[in-house]
Amino acid sequence: MSHHRDGFQRHIKRSDMLSCVLCEDAPCTAACGRMDPAGALRSIWFANEKAAAAAIPEEIPCGDCPALCESACVRPGQVPVKKLMERLHQEVRPALEIPYPEDEDRLKADLCGISLENPFLLSSSVVASTYDMCARAFEAGWAGAAFKTICSFEIHEASPRFSAITGDNGSIIGFKNIEQLSDHSVAENMEIFRRLKAQYPSKFILASIMGKDDKEWEELAGLCEENGADAIELNFSCPNMADGGLGSDIGQVPELVERFTAAARRGTKIPVLAKLTPNVALMSPAAEAAKRGGADGLSAINTIKSITGVNPHTYVTAPAVHGHSAVGGYSGNAVKPIALRFVAELAKNPALAGMYISGMGGIENWTDALEFLLLGADSLQVTTAVMQYGYRIIDDLKSGLNYYLAEKGFRSVKDAVGLALDTVSDTTDVLERDTVIFPKFHKEKCIGCGRCMISCADGGHQAIQLNGERKPQLNGKKCVGCHLCILVCPQGAISPGVKRIKKPTI
């Protein structure tokens, strides 16, 4: 098995199917007619190969099939669909430790005591901004939605308003937006809430609001409750609404967080969550202020102030709007490490004990979601991955997490919340430093590219050389066990190996 960089052992990785574009109404499945290769490919992409393998028929129909799925592909011959289906059947399926769970009961969660079908919500953004969009998401399986922030301001959006940092295959790693709040009137949004609650009474509506003064925070909170919202989320963190002391400007001032939380609290009896900005050194001061103001919980993180690039010919940053641009909010998988750090900070703070945490920031697959849970999040919110891949990602978010929980013997998703917190320290001073863990080279996987040697020579400790067969050899006297070589190997051919006790220095 290969050691995937998200910390989970995987047989098949994204790199095995990089040419796949995850089609809508995929031709490969239509051509097959006997199984769903497109669904299986999506599951591989989203780190959910076990659920994909469990869905493969016991007698796989590939056999003598002339790979009609591959010839029907929008990139004919570029995606080894048949081979990947056979690998799921031959490599992954036999290694499954348990059958796929028959139900999703263990995914049941709550938001401040109110039931959720599962822990997955759309976060407040364009993906949850109309009745039709929320309805389609609910039908797809999302437990609820944090509706795009409701306000009384006049909103006139710029065009274009998105830019991105992409990976080698064009998928989005980091995403920047300069989008603002809901451009519907308050009355229009209240009508949407009423319709959604009437049609989907079991789905959760988290009403994101932003006011300009105490009175407006209070009134908006009350209106949302009257029209069907299950809870209120106070947007103290939008980086694109900072003019005039709004958005992230509020989240950076604990006194304002407390004041406006208290105002919203006066207007409603349903749960109130404060959505906090990551554009601070520590989130705890604002979080503690929200608690003093009467908040029941916290949402973190919102987007990070950013500039994603500069055009080398026009000298305008992206996205360019008629020769100008602006600092905007950065999201996507690239911000997950920062989001996890803030969620852990909130969960570990004894002054915030009992506060509900809804975590977000770079969640793309179920392993990302699990990491937020393990660090203290009680529910999970997603936007950027939906913008890139669609509401359909909920299938793999749910099935991947459900299989993991069943595999671990957890009866409820709540059993996983906070399990990693004791391993997190705010300082590296507490770490053990008396051993070195050497890398282990799996020569049967090695293709002799020499990337490990290059990185060790120019970014490490010159401990790796290639032998006459272009296979790596380790100099144990020089190796310090930094594991840079493991991270850069494109084949997953290096893993942690033998531990050695350091000799004492005099």
CA distances from 354 to 24, 170, 287, 350 (A): 43, 42, 12, 9
The answer to whether the beta carbons of residues 165 and 174 sit under 8 Å apart is yes
The question of whether 238 is a catalytic residue gets the answer yes
The answer to whether the beta carbons of residues 346 and 281 sit under 8 Å apart is no
Residue with tokens 């759309």: 122
The answer to whether the beta carbons of residues 115 and 108 sit under 8 Å apart is yes
Query: Closest Cα partner for 388 from 307, 329, 328, 332?
Result: 332
Where does 295-400 show beta strands of DSSP type E? 297-300, 304-306, 328-331, 356-360, 379-382
- Which helix or strand (DSSP H or E) is residue 226 part of? helix 214-226
Residue 415 CA to residue 409 CA, distance in Å, equals: 10
The active-site residue out of 238, 446, 452, 456 is 238
Burial class of 64 by CB neighbour count within 10 A (0 to 12, 13 to 18, 19+): exposed
SS3 labels along 20-57: CCCCCCCHHHHHHCCCCHHHHHHHHHCCCHHHHHHHCC
C-alpha count within 13 angstroms, C-beta hemisphere, residue 108: 9
SS3 labels along 129-149: CCHHHHHHHHHHCCCEEEEEE
Distance from first CA to last CA of the chain, Å, rounded? 42
The answer to whether the beta carbons of residues 309 and 284 sit under 8 Å apart is no
Overall size of the chain counted in residues: 506
Q: Three-state DSSP class for 491?
A: coil
Strands ordered across the beta sheet of 162-166:
162-166, 172-177, 328-331, 304-306
Residue 188 CA to residue 64 CA, distance in Å, equals: 57
Specify the amino acid at residue 173.
Answer: I
Query: Closest Cα partner for 254 from 234, 284, 296?
Result: 284
- Both tokens assigned to 24: 């809508």
Q: Which residues are catalytic?
A: 238
